[in-house]
């Protein structure tokens, strides 16, 4: 199967296939007598695997490590499990950071809704973003 045919079968561009070959995701195929790459039909399955792994958030380097294990005859299950655990931990950490950021932005939105720009002084950079200190609330009555 030539590069263009594989590209159609895999839903990719010929340039992407050549890139995958250059980066070691696809083995270099044999060439026809006229010099064209001649990919085996199972290469389309490998491309589908690469696409599935990318959609799960794996990097090309991680995918290459999985393929290298498989190509050497080893089942990559333990390695894949470790990668999945690592990615899940990273996602959990990022989600916690995003929740913290959302809380901070909600506080800023609440301050923005009640901030009168005419009350800002030259020493204030931005009362909406600056974290209020207890002294900012001194002198305010319960009615304020």
Report the range of poorest mean pLDDT among 45-49, 58-62, 131-135.
Answer: 131-135
Mean pLDDT over each residue of the chain, to the nearest integer: 90
User: Which helix (DSSP H) or strand (DSSP E) does residue 5 occupy?
Assistant: helix 3-10
How does residue 139 score in pLDDT terms, banded at 50, 70 and 90? Answer: very low
pLDDT at 46: 96
- Burial grade of 85 (CB within 10 A; 0-12, 13-18, 19 or more): exposed
Give the global pTM.
Answer: 0.74
Categorize the per-residue pLDDT at 125 as very low, low, confident or very high, splitting at 50, 70 and 90: confident
DSSP bridge partners of 31: 37
- Say whether pLDDT at 141 is over 50: no
Nearest Cα to Cα of residue 37 among 11, 1, 10, 9:
1
Answer whether 74's CB lies under 8 Å from 36's CB: no
Give the span between the Cα atoms of 39 and 29, in whole angstroms: 5
Tell which residue, 86, 89, 87, 51, has the closest CA to residue 67: 51
What is the pLDDT at residue 137? 53
Each residue of 68-112: pLDDT tens digit? 999 999 999 999 999 999 999 999 999 999 999 999 999 999 999
């Amino acid at each position: 199967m030539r590069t263009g045919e594989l590209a159609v079968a895999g839903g990719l561009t010929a340039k992407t296939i050549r890139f995958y070959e250059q980066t070691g995701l696809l083995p270099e195929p044999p060439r026809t007598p006229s010099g064209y790459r001649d990919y085996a039909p199972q290469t389309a399955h490998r491309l589908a695997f690469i696409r599935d792994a990318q959609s799960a958030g794996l990097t090309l380097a991680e995918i290459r490590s999985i393929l290298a294990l498989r190509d050497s005859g080893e089942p990559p299950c333990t390695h894949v499990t470790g990668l999945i655990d690592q990615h899940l931990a990273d996602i959990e950490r990022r989600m916690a950071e995003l929740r913290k950021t959302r809380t901070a932005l909600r506080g800023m939105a609440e301050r923005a809704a009640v901030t009168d720009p005419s009350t800002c002084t030259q020493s204030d950079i931005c009362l909406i973003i600056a974290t209020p200190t207890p002294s900012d609330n001194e002198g305010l009555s319960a009615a304020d």
